[in-house]
């Protein structure tokens, strides 16, 4: 073998060795990259929550890949929870070329649809606040609302996160009708959700109401009165407070369930007609009591006629207490000596004074 042939063989062997070495390095480097590119197996979820009206593949399994946004079921009603059998879910996934799902021995999937719940009482309060002081109405807490459609708890999409803002408020005092529309802002959506409510609104006041029928001149007791809210137009501005009514006397017969007015009440009579009373005669240094008979009734401070049972005379007095009438006694005037002048001398004496039965005269003589 010539030297030239030997050199050529040596070069070929070196090139072959270099190629083998480079291939070995490439194989070693490619191994971890291949491991990184392995797609993880899809795994079934036992509990699913959704905010929209559909359930997607990405909601029911982890590692859904490019199939995650495919809708496969309609979501439950707002704020409710439903269930899906695992076998049914797997069949649906295979129809969309999703296979090899790790079920983790889950028998069924629980699906809950998120929602925002507006309580019925919250809705009523918001409507009352919108109507407050509108066209003659009073405070919101004094308004009684009746809705055309019963207002219960209302569920909205979870994305409706804004407050209830009045967009349109109308009230007609002639028929008490209201029409109120609210707007609720929605996340990522420029158009808000609109809620409309219609019905009637009446202003009410707390009234003292009779629990039983009260006869004329009967005194009202605490157990006779209860508190209720009544339309302001029914009781007017002459309403009687409960504390004011108890202990008062009915001016006329009052029916059970009737709201009490100040005009219905009077201070109770301390003296009744034909009642035995005590007549009190009082003056400076004098206090005399005599039995009498009231000829008319009266409350404290009233003037009443009373028959003096001792003298059989009718006298007028002021009612001062229960069964008591005071009679004023005129104080006697002090006697005043007649103003007479005389020109009697030191040694002269006056003659005796004589008083006639009907008239009195004074006669002066001199000796």
Q: Is pLDDT at 311 greater than 60 in this prediction? A: yes
Coil, strand or helix: which one is 60? helix
Radius of gyration of the chain (CA): 53
Mean pLDDT across the chain, nearest whole number?
82
Q: Is pLDDT at 149 greater than 60 in this prediction? A: yes
Q: Is pLDDT at 38 greater than 70 in this prediction? A: no
Angstrom distance (rounded) from CA 62 to CA 60: 7
Q: What's residue 338's pLDDT? A: 55
CA atoms 234, 150, 50, 80: torsion sign: positive
Name the residue among 258, 26, 52, 63 with its Cα closest to residue 158.
52
Beta-carbon neighbour count of residue 310 at 10 Å? 10
Q: By the 8 A CB rule, do 315 and 308 touch?
A: yes
Which of the 8 DSSP states describes residue 224?
G
Which string of DSSP letters, residue by residue, matches 116-128? Answer: EEE-HHHHHHHHH
- Percent over 70 (pLDDT), the chain: 79
β-strand pairing of 154-157 with 177-186: unpaired
Q: Is pLDDT at 6 greater than 70 in this prediction? A: no
Q: What is the pLDDT of residues 261-296, one digit of tens each?
A: 989 998 888 888 888 999 888 887 788 888 999 998
Beta-carbon neighbour count of residue 87 at 10 Å? 11
Name the residue among 206, 79, 207, 195 with its Cα closest to residue 147.
195
The confidence band for 172, taking pLDDT boundaries of 50, 70 and 90, is very high
Which of the 8 DSSP states describes residue 214?
B
Name the residue among 141, 107, 111, 108 with its Cα closest to residue 127.
141
| Token output for 307 | 């028959």
Q: Is pLDDT at 71 greater than 70 in this prediction? A: yes
Q: Summarize the confidence of residues 245-260 as an average pLDDT.
A: 92
Angstrom distance (rounded) from CA 250 to CA 266: 6
Q: Summarize the confidence of residues 330-339 as an average pLDDT.
A: 60
Q: What's residue 269's pLDDT? A: 81
Beta-carbon neighbour count of residue 275 at 10 Å? 16
β-strand pairing of 47-50 with 108-113: parallel
Report field, pTM of the whole predicted structure over 0.85: no
* Burial (CB count within 10 angstroms: exposed 0-12, middle 13-18, buried 19+), residue 200: middle
Q: Is pLDDT at 28 greater than 80 in this prediction? A: no
């Amino acid at each position: 073998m010539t030297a030239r042939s030997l050199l050529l063989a040596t070069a070929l062997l070196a090139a072959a060795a270099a190629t083998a070495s480079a291939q070995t390095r490439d194989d070693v480097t490619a191994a971890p990259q291949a491991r990184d590119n392995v797609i993880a197996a899809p795994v079934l979820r036992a509990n699913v929550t959704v905010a929209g009206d559909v359930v997607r593949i990405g909601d029911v399994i982890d590692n859904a890949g490019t199939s995650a946004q495919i809708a496969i079921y309609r979501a439950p009603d707002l704020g409710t929870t439903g269930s899906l059998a695992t076998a049914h879910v797997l069949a649906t996934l295979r129809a969309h070329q999703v296979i090899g799902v790790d079920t983790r021995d889950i028998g069924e999937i629980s699906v809950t649809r998120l929602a925002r719940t507006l309580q019925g009482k919250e809705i009523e309060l918001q409507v009352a606040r919108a109507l407050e002081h509108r066209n003659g109405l009073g405070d919101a807490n004094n308004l009684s609302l009746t809705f055309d459609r019963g207002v219960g708890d209302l569920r909205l999409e979870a994305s409706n996160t804004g407050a209830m803002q009045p967009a349109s408020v109308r009230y007609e005092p002639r028929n008490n009708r209201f029409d109120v529309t609210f707007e609720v802002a929605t996340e990522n959506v420029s158009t808000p959700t609109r809620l409309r409510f219609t019905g009637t609104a009446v202003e009410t006041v707390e009234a003292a109401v009779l629990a039983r029928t009260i006869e004329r001149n009967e005194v009202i007791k605490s157990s006779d009165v209860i508190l209720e809210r009544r339309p302001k137009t029914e009781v007017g501005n002459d309403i009687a407070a409960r504390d004011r009514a108890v202990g008062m006397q009915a001016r006329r017969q009052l029916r059970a369930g009737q709201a009490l007015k100040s005009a219905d009440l009077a201070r109770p009579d301390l003296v009744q007609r034909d009642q035995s009373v005590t007549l009190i005669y009082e003056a400076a240094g004098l206090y005399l009591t005599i039995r009498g008979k009231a000829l008319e009734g009266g409350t404290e401070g009233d003037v009443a006629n009373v028959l003096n049972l001792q003298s059989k005379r009718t006298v007028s007095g002021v009612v001062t207490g229960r069964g008591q009438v005071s009679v004023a006694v005129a104080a006697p005037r002090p006697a005043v000596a007649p103003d007479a002048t005389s020109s009697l001398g030191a040694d002269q004496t006056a003659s005796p004074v004589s008083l006639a039965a009907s008239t009195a005269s004074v006669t002066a003589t001199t000796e």
